[in-house]
Amino acid sequence: MPRKPATDKDVLVPADIAPGKPVSGESRQKASPVPADAQLSESYAEKQGDGGETHQVAADGAAVLTTSQGAPVADDQNSLKQGARGPTLLEDFHFREKIFHFDHERIPERVVHARGYGAHGFFELTDSLADVTRADIFQRVGERTPAFVRFSTVAGSKGSFDLARDVRGFAVKLYTKEGNWDLVGNNIPVFFIQDAIKFPDLVHAAKPEPDRAFPQAQTAHDNFWDFISLTPESMHMIMWAMSDRAIPRSFRTMEGFGVHTFRLVSAEGKSTFVKFHWKPKQGLQSVLWNEAVKINGADPDFHRRDLWEAINGGDFPEWELGVQLFDQAFADQFDFDVLDATKIIPEEILPVRVVGRLVLDRVVDNFFAETEQVAFCTQNVVPGIDFTNDPLLQGRNFSYLDTQLKRLGSPNFTHIPINAPKCPVAHFQQDGHMAMTNPRGRVNYEPNSWGATLGGPREDPVRGFRSFAEEADGAKLRIRPESFADHYSQARQFYVSQEPIEQKHIADALVFELSKVERPDIRARVVSHLINIDDGLAGTVADGLGLPELPASAQAAQPTRSDLPPSEALSIVKNGPPSFKGRKLGILLSDGADAALFGGLVKALDKVGAVYDVIAPKIGGVTLDDGTKVAAKQKIDGGPSVLFDAVAIVVSADGAALLADDAATQDFVRDAFGHCKYIGLTLDAQPIFANAGILDKLDDACIELGAAKDAAAFVDTIAALRFWPRELKVDLDAK
Ligand code: HDE
């Protein structure tokens, strides 16, 4: 029997995805704390307006399914056939249109930074920079500018996992009143290479090897380390990339950097050099490598889910915008070339001045329309902001525009709502694929003699963008300046600025990555560079790899490295959060668990602005000792402890007896312990720890939760996030 056409009662398009309503009810349910003036940017749905392709709404308010030409559809279940069992007819325009559109749904993923996640928000100026720049965004304290931010990993494909060991993109589009300014940065302030001409080689080497198409989203393979070991300028970046910066706990807990030296230009045409910093109000935090590996399996979307949940829960992530401002005289006396993107200017030498804040307060309405189609371009600057001759930045200015054409298919990508400026746009560019906003009127050229009204826009030498008139001279050369030659001093400075536990993680990461490299000569060549950074680090890595002997140190363009003073700002551990705010506690509950204790934990978490998930033997939840029923967010094997910043095991004696032999429960506590997390536990929970083999190892960070009164103190204690002394006891590499 052929299926019958759908009747009116078959709800094909639920009324709650009608125009103007969010696609998912969840996306708005908790977003009310936004102050009215905070949501400056129009949502995608609003942008669509009347002319957009939305669902037709009938008089009774129910949405009617239509073709893309707007013709109402009667039957979307069956194609048009010649007879009940006959061939499908070419005449079926509805079927053909639907399949045709589906066939063309994909666009090329970004060649790098393919996997990303974006959100809307605003930038608010807190300290005017009017004395150094005419950029409109930096003039009026208190004024807000709409922003869109996309975070990303670099090497992995769009469908790869969030916790790859990788640099994170931190791309910010600021819709200023004088045009879009894109600050396309990373969470690491330096880069692997000094000249953009090496970028294709770097990326080819990092991506899956071309014959076998693996490994995905990782640098732990021969090609990457071969290229790196032959590119000494990458050593500073390698220190950062092997540190815990490359496995952040959340997009919310990482810094962002503009990386290059840019210019601010005043109304009088005076230039001031600037380096941009985003500093998270949430503090810095990362996970451990073993944890990252397990998070990738348990929740490959860990970072995007975290951002989605925080914003929808009203806990809006916030960063301060800091600037390091300096002049040519500073640049001339600085130890390194400020045009070299493999170098930082330590904050101790040049303090970061905070001038504003970035708040993310709205998730997207549609991932593809906004996060996928957003097109960041480094060349999108505005009057008052300009480039320097950093050869990496100069190369990027070509690449980003070019790549958007490939990805989005038309020079009219600026017409897509997420890319369109929010200030007036007036020019004579026209036509092309998918032109949405061709200018009106007869005149499409200038100069013209049609007068001010009919003749269209005119240049404005005062308001308009003027490049800083830098003097340039010299022969055309393919050459690397000598001032770029010191590849090791700042690499060492980063290393010696780390806490011992962080130094251990760098060594562990190098040993892990190089253990996946098959060619011993490549492993040894990397170690030969480490000798130029720190003998101790080189020795530890050589030992971890089981190298028969330490290789000779690498030949360096500039053999002497200077011993620079450590910089506090470079350590994650020294810049952690002051409280548990914005973090998540995993509470493992069983039937009969202490209701007052559970209530106390919830109250204490609420007080500091933290969240929790209940994990239980069954997703239906548990009944506590006072008869209260609590729903679970996770069943134990779906909610391993790696998903939480700290855990509490609140179980009854019966509950513990039930769970003590369960492998997933044992993993839960063993991993929490192994990952140096704070653990709260009721006395009744002890059999679980005994069967997991860690009862006799419990330490000061394993805190007994005897009664409700212990809850607040526990939540205060877990602000420290990790109990590092434990790592030295649970890790073979530390022994
Ligand atoms: Fe990129 N980079 N990049 N990059 N980059 C891209 O542009 C490129 C570099 C960064 O969320 C591409 O739209 C070259 C440094 C971010 O959409 C491409 C060079 C920094 C994003 C490109 C660099 C970045 C990209 C790929 C060497 C930190 C993601 C897709 C000179 C300051 C933006 C796209 C988003 C994306 C080229 C080096 C950051 C191909 C040639 C240094 C955050 O245009």
Average pLDDT for 727-731: 84
Q: pLDDT-based confidence at 732, cuts 50/70/90?
A: low
CA gap 79, 72 in Å, rounded: 15
277-306 pLDDT tens trace? 999 999 999 999 999 999 999 999 999 999
Q: What is the CATH number of the domain that holds 134?
A: 2.40.180.10
- 68 CA distance to ligand 1 middle (Å): 35
Domain termination site, one of 573, 598, 615: 573
DSSP character at residue 34: S
| Pocket-testing residue among 396, 405, 407, ligand 1, by greatest number of atoms within 8 A of Cβ | 396
- Kindly state the tokens that stand for 692: 């997991």
Atom of ligand 1 nearest to the CA of 111: 26
Residue 23 has pLDDT above 50, yes or no: no
| Pairing assessment for the beta strands 611-616 and 634-635 based on DSSP bridges | parallel
The residue to mutate among 107, 111, 113, 339, having the most atoms of ligand 1 within 8 angstroms of its beta carbon, is: 113
- Give the mean model confidence (pLDDT) for residues 367-372: 98
Q: 686: which 2 tokens?
A: 């002890």
670, 632: one domain: yes
Atom of ligand 1 nearest to the CA of 118: 11
SS3 697: helix
pLDDT of residue 556: 79
pLDDT reading at 592 higher than 90: yes
Task: Calculate the CA dihedral of residues 423, 426, 429, 434 and round it to 10 degrees.
Answer: 50
CA distance 142 to 356: 9
Note whether residue 218 is domain-resident.
Answer: yes
Q: Is 577 helix (H, G, I), strand (E, B) or coil?
A: coil
710: CATH: 3.40.50.880
Determine the average pLDDT of the residues in 331-337: 97
Helical residues (DSSP H) of 301-390, grouped into ranges:
302-312, 328-333, 367
The protein residue with its alpha carbon nearest to ligand 1, atom 23, reads 396
Q: Tell me the CA–centroid distance for residue 343 and ligand 1, in Å.
A: 18
pLDDT digits (tens, 9 = 90+) for 483-517: 999 999 999 999 999 999 999 999 999 999 999 99
Residue closest to 223 by CA, chosen among 544, 509, 553, 518: 518
* CA of 110 relative to ligand 1 center, distance in Å: 9
Same domain, 246 and 392: yes
- For ligand 1, atom 18, the nearest C-alpha belongs to 400
DSSP-assigned letters across all residues of 524-552: HHHHHHHHTT-HHHHHHHHHHHT-SSPPP
682 shares a domain with 553 = no
pLDDT average, residue stretch 669-675: 98
Summarize the confidence of residues 180-194 as an average pLDDT.
98
Q: Which residue's CA is minimally distant from atom 42 of ligand 1? A: 191
Query: Which range, of 30-44, 385-399, 483-497, 527-541, averages the lowest pLDDT?
Result: 30-44
Same domain? For 554 and 656 the reply is: no
Q: Which residues of 537-562 are buried (b: 16+ CB within 10 A; e: fewer)?
A: bbbbbbebbebeebbebbebeeeebe
Among 415, 445, 476, the domain-final residue is: 415
ipTM of the complex: 0.97
| pLDDT computed for residue 61 by the predictor | 67
Q: Which atom of ligand 1 is nearest to the CA of 341?
A: 42
Q: Looking at ligand 1, which atom is closest to the CA of residue 150?
A: 11
CA-nearest residue for atom 25, ligand 1, is 113
CA dihedral 17, 19, 21, 22 (to 10 degrees): 70
Give the residue whose CA is nearest to atom 31 of ligand 1.
Answer: 196
What's the 186 CA to ligand 1 centre distance in angstroms? 9
**End of a domain among 531, 552, 573?**
573
Structure tokens at 528: 């030969």
* Ligand 1 atom closest to residue 399's alpha carbon, by position in its atom list: 44
Q: Whose CA is nearest to atom 44 of ligand 1?
A: 400
- 176 lies in a domain? yes
Q: Residue 56 class from Cβ within 10 Å (0-12 exposed, 13-18 middle, 19+ buried)?
A: middle
Stretch among 23-37, 120-134, 142-156, 450-464 having the lowest mean pLDDT = 23-37
Catalytic residue annotation: 113, 186
Residues 724 and 244: their CA atoms lie apart, in Å, by: 14
Confidence of residue 57 (pLDDT cuts 50, 70, 90): low
d(CA 313, CA 360): 12
- What pLDDT score was predicted for residue 17? 30
Interval between CA 715 and ligand 1 midpoint (Å): 40
β-pairing verdict for 262-265 and 256-257? unpaired
- Read off the DSSP letter of residue 612: E
Is 183 in the same domain as 276? yes
> If you take atom 41 of ligand 1, which residue's CA is the nearest one?
396
Question: Is 273:325 a contact under the CB 8 Å cutoff?
Answer: yes
Kindly list the distances between the CA atom of residue 11 and the CA atoms of 17, 144, 565, in Å, as whole numbers in the listed order. Answer: 12, 42, 68
Pocket of ligand 1, candidates 112, 186, 262, 378: which has the most ligand atoms within 8 Å of its Cβ, to mutate? 112
Rounded to the nearest angstrom, the distance between the alpha carbon of 320 and the centre of ligand 1 is 23
**pLDDT tens, residue by residue, 81-100:** 999 999 999 999 999 999 99
Q: Which atom of ligand 1 is nearest to the CA of 114?
A: 30
Q: How many domains does the chain fold into?
A: 3
Using most ligand atoms within 8 A of CB, pick from 262, 374, 400 the residue to mutate for ligand 1: 400
C-alpha of residue 375 to centroid of ligand 1, in Å: 11
Residues 120-162: tens digit of each pLDDT? 999 999 999 999 999 999 999 999 999 999 999 999 999 999 9
For ligand 1, mutation pick of 172, 197, 399, 407 (most atoms within 8 Å of CB):
399
Say how far apart CA 312 and CA 300 lie, in whole Å: 20
Question: Which residue puts its alpha carbon closest to atom 7 of ligand 1?
Answer: 400
CA of 330 to the centre of ligand 1 (A): 28
CA dihedral 116, 118, 124, 128 (to 10 degrees): 30
d(CA 154, ligand 1 centre) in Å: 9
Cα(396) to centroid of ligand 1, in Å?
Answer: 7
Residues 314 and 408 in one domain: yes
Which residue's C-alpha comes closest to atom 9 of ligand 1? 396
pTM value?
0.93
Residue nearest to atom 6 of ligand 1 (CA): 112
Ligand 1 atom with the smallest distance to the CA of 404 is: 13
> So what's the pLDDT on residue 481?
95
List Cβ neighbours of 39 (8 Å cut-off, separation of 6 or more): 120, 361, 362
In angstroms, the Cα distances linking 141 to 355, 356, 384, 702 are 9, 9, 17, 47
Q: Do both 202 and 311 map to the same domain?
A: yes
Residues in CB range of 549: below 8 A, 6 or more apart: none
Q: Which domain holds residue 689?
A: 580-734
Question: Does residue 445 lie in a domain region?
Answer: no
Res 20 pLDDT > 50: no
Does the residue 651 lie in any domain?
A: yes
Query: Model confidence over 686-711: pLDDT tens digits?
Result: 999 999 999 999 999 999 999 899 99
pLDDT at 14 over 50: no
Q: Identify whether 675 is part of a domain.
A: yes
Tokens of 656: 């513990």
Residues 6+ apart with CB under 8 A from 635: 615, 616, 617, 618, 619
**Span 175-199, average pLDDT:** 98
Tell me how far the alpha carbon of residue 259 lies from the centroid of ligand 1, in angstroms. 12
Q: Do the domain assignments include residue 599?
A: yes
Let me know whether 557 and 585 are in one domain. Answer: no
Q: Are residues 566 and 677 in the same domain?
A: no
Distance from residue 118's CA to the centre of ligand 1 (Å): 16
Mean pLDDT, residues 47-51 taken together? 42
pLDDT given for residue 34 in this prediction: 35
Looking at the structure, tell me whether residues 394 and 313 fall in a common domain: yes
Shortest CA distance to 324 belongs to which of 305, 299, 350? 350
Q: Which atom of ligand 1 is nearest to the CA of 112?
A: 26
Evaluate whether 118 touches 374 at the Cβ level (below 8 Å).
yes
- Claim to verify: residue 394 and residue 514 sit in the same structural domain: no
Domain assignment present for residue 584? The answer is yes
What is the model's pLDDT at position 3?
41
User: Is residue 37 over pLDDT 60?
Assistant: no
Amino acid at 543: D
**CATH number of the domain that residue 562 is part of:** 1.20.1370.20
Residue in the block written with tokens 């420290």: 720
Of the ranges 350-364, 396-410, 609-623, 718-732, which one carries the lowest mean pLDDT score? 718-732
Nearest CA to ligand 1 atom 29: 113
Please choose from 110, 170, 257, 380 the residue to mutate so as to test ligand 1's pocket, defined by most ligand atoms within 8 A of CB. Answer: 110
Pairing of β 584-589 and β 144-153: unpaired
Q: Whose CA is nearest to atom 39 of ligand 1?
A: 185
Task: List all residues whose CB is within 6 A of at least one atom of ligand 1.
Answer: 110-113, 116, 150, 152, 169, 171, 184-186, 191, 196, 199, 259, 341, 376, 392, 395-396, 399-400, 403
Domain shared by 325 and 266, yes or no:
yes
pLDDT at 28 > cutoff 80: no
Residue 264 falls within a domain, yes or no? Answer: yes
